Structure 1
Amino acid sequence: MIRYQLALLAHSQRWLPPLLAYLILLGVLFSDAGSETRPLYAVSAGALTVVACWLTIALVDAEDPTQRLITQVHAGRLSTVLSGIVGAVALCSAVLMVIPLVWAALVHPGFSAGVLVDGVVAHVACAAAGVAVGLPCSRLLLPRIGYTMLAALALLGIVLLVRWVPVVNPMLRGLLGSGPGSAVALGLLGGVLLLAVSAAGTGWAVHRRA
């Protein structure tokens, strides 16, 4: 199922706009070799949240409802289809995550293992949060692209900008400040939990509508 979803995404070419936007952002971020690495990771991880959400919606919407029903019949269960979508976007996000991590290690002085660990955990947490936002905002629940855009922008704004939501924002503020402390680990826990709740809730809602 993951291979099928990756092939579907590649064939649709809907991955190209977020990839280009992400690479342009990274080119601007890492152009100054004298910058501190953790704040740059905060920005690239936040951007990965948006990209992962975009890829999730693009992948789900690459199939019309009839095609998705055929896929579900062949898969046997909706949970298998959802797992394939999450797995495919996770693999894409893992590839995108490597780019800023390696880039920073090559061009920034004073790079340490602790910084690398913080960067890895932050990007994983943000990718999980992005997929979690994208699932309920996709055509699985919202049939019109206008509703999808409004819902995705609203949820991304809450996850990224609202301080008291313990998922992404506290972690990114920690990376931007003097030190992340435990915020990175809590951000990873929050991102994974949000993804689990989102996948379960989306699957339940789809079953209710069927």
Structure 2
Amino acid sequence: MIRYQLALLAHSQRWLPPLLAYVIMLGVLYSDPGSEARPLFGVSAGALTVVACWLAIALIDAEDPTQRLITRVHAGGLSTVITGIVAAIGLCCAVLMVVPLLWAALVHTGFTAAVLVDGVLAHSACAAAGVAIGLPCSRLVLPRIGYTVLTALAALGVVLLTRWVPVVNPMLRALLGTGSRSAVVLGLLGGVALLALSAAGTGWWVRRRG
């Protein structure tokens, strides 16, 4: 199922716009070798939230309802399909996460193991949050692209910009400022919890509607 989802995403070519935007952003962001890596990780991790959400929606919406039903039957259940989607996007985000981490390690000064750990945790948390937003904003729940765009933008705005939502914003603020690593760890736990809740809720909605 993971191989199928990756092949479906690659064939659809819907990964190209977010990938180009992400690479261009990294080129601008990490162009100064004298800047500290930890605050830069906060920006690139936040961008990965948007990319992960985009990829999740693009992958799910690449199938029409009839094809999705066939996939569900062959997979043996909706849970397998959703797990395959989450795992496929997770692999894509893991590859995208390596780029800023490796770039900072090779170019930027003052790069330590602790900074690397913070970068891995932050990007992983943001990727999980992005996929969590993308699942219910996709055609699995919202049948029209207009509703998808508006809902995804609103959800991303809440997660990225609102302090009282304990998932992404407090963690990114800690990376951009002088926050402790506990905020980063809590951000990862929040992202994983949000992803699990989103996957379960999306599956429940699809079964109820079907």
Q: Using the alignment, how far apart are the partners of 2:82 and 2:164 within structure 1? A: 29
Structure 1 stretches lacking a partner, 5+ long? none
Question: Which residue of the partner structure matches residue 19 of structure 2?
Answer: 19
Offset of residue 180 of structure 1? 3.2
Letter of the 1:25 partner, please give it. Answer: M
- AA aligned to 1:32 is D
Percentage of identical aligned residues: 80
Write the distance in 2 (CA, Å) between the matches of 1:178 and 1:94.
26
Distance in structure 2 (CA, Å) of the matches to 1:16 and 1:175: 28
Shift of 1:179: 3.2
User: 1:1-210 maps to which residues of 2 (within 5 A)?
Assistant: 1-210=1-210
Which amino acid counterpart does residue 40 of structure 2 have in structure 1? Answer: L
Q: How many equivalent pairs are there?
A: 210
Q: Under a length normalisation based on structure 2, what TM-score does the superposition of the two structures give?
A: 0.99
Q: CA RMSD in A?
A: 0.5
Quote the Cα distance in structure 2 between the aligned partners of 1:107 and 1:60: 37
Is contact 2:118–2:181 with CA below 8 Å preserved after alignment?
no
TM-score, normalised to structure 1's length? 0.99
- What is the CA-CA distance between 1:181 and the residue it aligns to? 3.0
**Equivalent AA in structure 1 for residue 178 of structure 2:** S
CA distance in 1, matches of 2:94, 2:144: 29
> Which 10-residue stretch deviates more, 177-186 or 97-106?
177-186
Whether the aligned pair in 1 keeps the contact of 2:142 and 2:148 (CA below 8 Å) is yes
Q: SS at the partner of 1:182? A: helix
Measured in 2, the distance between the counterparts of 1:202 and 1:118 equals 30
d(CA) in 1 for partners of 2:111, 2:160: 26
Deviating 4+ runs (over 4 angstroms): none
Once structures 1 and 2 are overlaid, which stretch shifts more, 48-57 or 173-182?
Answer: 173-182
Report the 3-state secondary structure (helix = DSSP H, G, I; strand = E; otherwise coil) of the residue aligned with 2:181. coil
